[in-house]
Amino acid sequence: MLQLSRYPFHTLKTVPQTSDNRSTGLLLQAGFVRQEMAGAYIYLHLGLRVLENIKRIVREELDAIGCSEILMTSFGTREHWETTGRWDTMDNLFKVEGASGKYYALNPTHEEIVTPLMQEFIQSYKNLDNCAVYQFQTKFRNEARAKSGILRGREFLMKDLYSFHRNSEDLDIFFEEVRKAYVRIYERLGLGESTRYVFASGWAFSKYSYEFQTDLGIGEDDVYVCSKCGQAHNEEIIDPTGFVCVECTSKEHFIVQASEVGNIFKLGTRFSNAFGLGYTDAEGKKQEVVMGCYGIGVSRLMGVIAEKFMDEKGLVWPENVAPFSYYMIVIGDHLEEAKKLAKKLESEGATVLIDDRNTGFGAKAGDTDLLGIPYRIVLSDKTLAQGGYEFKGRKESESRIVIL
């Protein structure tokens, strides 16, 4: 349990001016994040707890489909980036000069690291039965102008997963497993209903890539949704002469403003061939390894969730993501009762923040709403006289007494 009287951070009375959108403003006001520079955010304790909750959900779903978590490096060797030809062609690649005169990349993505890494472990078709590794890693993008608060940064936290297969059919099967895992992830993050599976540009790798886009009413992307079959399309693949659904060829559509919360790519042999990553099949013949890659922007998701659920009083976190499940307001000399109740709730799996600061009820209740903690508990002379505590959900207007 966290006691606010012993907590070094506090909320702000008003929304700071510097924010790019309202949710970033609320995250600043409520003390979840601070900006170190444009596009690079510090996560204060509450923000870090949200990030860790998002990571836990992503980790559980990826582990459930047999992926292995690892941790690659922030630096990439120039040789690896030159092998794929992306040292000179990749947009926004930070290049860093070392004391030895050598240059390194600050990785914005990890194909150049994971492909030679897995090359050591892949020789035979037997090594490709279940070969998928992921990490949570700080990514770096050399954006000329960073914008959109924590949605697009120079430095941000990503989950990236890479899979390795015998052929396209095996990739397709695993790809579908990941797609379903992503659907479960967004569901658990509270974004299930508002997140669409969107066809987008496949760039150099394949005809299409696939994105998950959450309807926000604001966002970087215009998503074209087929009125007939519901298939969503990123603006970048819409024919300049007019919308034609890639699934059902209907021209009827509507447009929603959305924010990308994940993308999944069929990389094919683009990177395995660059590094000469092949395998020997059951007949002893050399074959090409087929790859997939799958991203989720963890710090971006925090911004999207904040933007999606906020209301006029402040942030509103889904229970799975909230930094604490209970915000416990203590009025008067009842800290010991509060700690006892918090211990009981914690033994049932909840997390509890105790507001034992020397301030009035109004300030405490205002912070409960601003922070967006799902459940508010009040312990006071008045509630204890009624034999219990006052309980209210963040979205409820009426409180009730729960008997202790």
In whole angstroms, give the CA distance from residue 362 to residue 315: 17
One character per residue 68-107, x = contact with its own copies (rule: CB under 8 A): xxxxxxxxxx--------------x-x-x-xxx---x-x-
DSSP label of 141: -
The stretch near its own copies (CB under 8 A) out of 118-126, 220-228, 270-278, 394-402 is 118-126
What are the tokens at 335?
């800290």
Nearest to 116 by CA among 145, 152, 76: 76
Among 20, 82, 143, 346, binds its own copies (CB under 8 A): 143
Which CB atom, from 68 or from 227, has the smaller least distance to its own copies? Answer: 68
Q: Using the rule CB under 8 A, is 6 a contact of its own copies?
A: yes
What are the tokens at 77?
């060797």
What are the tokens at 332?
């008067």
Nearest to 138 by CA among 41, 53, 233: 41
Which CB atom, from 71 or from 403, has the smaller least distance to its own copies? Answer: 71
Tell me whether strands 326-330 and 278-280 are parallel, antiparallel or unpaired: unpaired
The stretch near its own copies (CB under 8 A) out of 32-40, 165-173, 193-201, 231-239 is 32-40
Q: Using the rule CB under 8 A, is 118 a contact of its own copies?
A: yes
The order of strands in the sheet holding 326-330 is 2-3, 352-355, 326-330, 375-379, 388-393, 400-403
In whole angstroms, give the CA distance from residue 294 to residue 283: 31
The stretch near its own copies (CB under 8 A) out of 131-139, 268-276, 283-291, 319-327 is 131-139
The stretch near its own copies (CB under 8 A) out of 138-146, 243-251, 385-393, 395-403 is 138-146
The sign of the CA dihedral 357, 361, 362, 365 is positive
Site for its own copies in 155-174 (CB under 8 A): 155, 164
- Beta bridge partner(s), residue 208: 201
Quote the least distance from Cβ 371 to its own copies, whole Å. Answer: 15
In whole angstroms, give the CA distance from residue 369 to residue 375: 10
The stretch near its own copies (CB under 8 A) out of 30-38, 235-243, 308-316, 340-348 is 30-38
Among 129, 176, 236, 311, binds its own copies (CB under 8 A): 129
Q: Using the rule CB under 8 A, is 264 a contact of its own copies?
A: no
Quote the least distance from Cβ 96 to its own copies, whole Å. Answer: 5
Quote the least distance from Cβ 201 to its own copies, whole Å. Answer: 23
DSSP strand E in 131-181: where? 132-140, 155-165
Give the DSSP H/E element, type plus range, for residue 179: helix 168-188
Instruction: Count the residues of the shown chain that bind its own copies, applying the rule CB under 8 A.
Output: 57
- Applying CB under 8 A, the residues found at the interface with its own copies are 5-10, 34, 36-37, 40-45, 47-48, 51, 66, 68-77, 92, 94, 96, 98-100, 104, 106, 113, 117-118, 120-121, 127, 129-133, 138, 140, 142-145, 154-155, 164
